[in-house]
Amino acid sequence: MNKADVQKLISKAADICNESGGRLTEKRQRILELLLHSDTPLSAYEVADRYNKTADRSIPVMSVYRILDFLESEQLVHKLSSANKYVACAHIACTHSHEVPQFLICRSCESVKEIGIKKSIVDELSAHVRTAGYTLMNSQLELDCLCEKCVGSNV
Ligand SMILES: [Zn+2]
Ligand SMILES: [Zn+2]
Ligand SMILES: [Zn+2]
């Protein structure tokens, strides 16, 4: 993603935080930028590493986790539970309400695509879970995939 696009998303993200009564502080903004610039999901340690390479004052991983939690609560960032890594939301600039995110994760190059899926599919899934006697706590799907680029080199 180029610098101008990232800047646009950052100012939109600041508005989103303001509306919910939060604040996109300099550190939070810097970490969101890191994720927007990254082509692959990053762990909290990787985020801290990249942050500390360019910052005057280094930031401990514990603070990175807190900041990622905040960004996640604003839906600016998503956590991929399967990989324990974070990605910037693909819908920061959108005006529509955020759907339950589904992630297509390329097993070869680790690129991730965030897609929305129909609510009916999520409902059906949670009905199946209920039938089995369980209660669905998080309907975020993370699917093991090959991306367009990698599918060609793997056949
Ligand atoms: Zn999202
Ligand atoms: Zn969108
Ligand atoms: Zn790929």
Residues 43-89: tens digit of each pLDDT: 999 999 999 998 889 999 999 999 999 999 999 999 999 999 999 99
Please compute the mean of the pLDDT values over residues 92-121 and round it to a whole number: 91
Cα 129 to averaged position of ligand 2 atoms, centre (Å): 28
At 140, list the tokens.
């975020």
Question: 4-27, pLDDT tens digit by residue?
Answer: 999 999 999 999 999 999 999 999
The domain in which residue 46 lies consists of: 1-96
Cα 116 to averaged position of ligand 2 atoms, centre (Å): 8
List strand residue ranges (DSSP E) for the chain, in order.
Answer: 77-80, 85-88, 101-106, 112-116, 141-145
- The angle that helices 44-54 and 26-37 make with each other, rounded to 10 degrees, is 110
pLDDT at 155 over 90: no
State whether 118 and 83 are in the same domain: no
Q: Which ligand is nearest to the CA of 90?
A: 1
First-residue to last-residue Cα distance in the chain:
29
Q: Which ligand is nearest to the CA of 153?
A: 3
Q: Is the pTM of this model over 0.95?
A: no
Q: Which residues contact 127 (CB under 8 A, 6 or more apart)?
A: none
Cα 57 to averaged position of ligand 1 atoms, centre (Å): 30
Q: Round to whole Å and give the CA distance between 38 and 104.
A: 16
State whether 12 and 81 are in the same domain: yes
pLDDT of residue 106: 96
State whether 141 and 73 are in the same domain: no
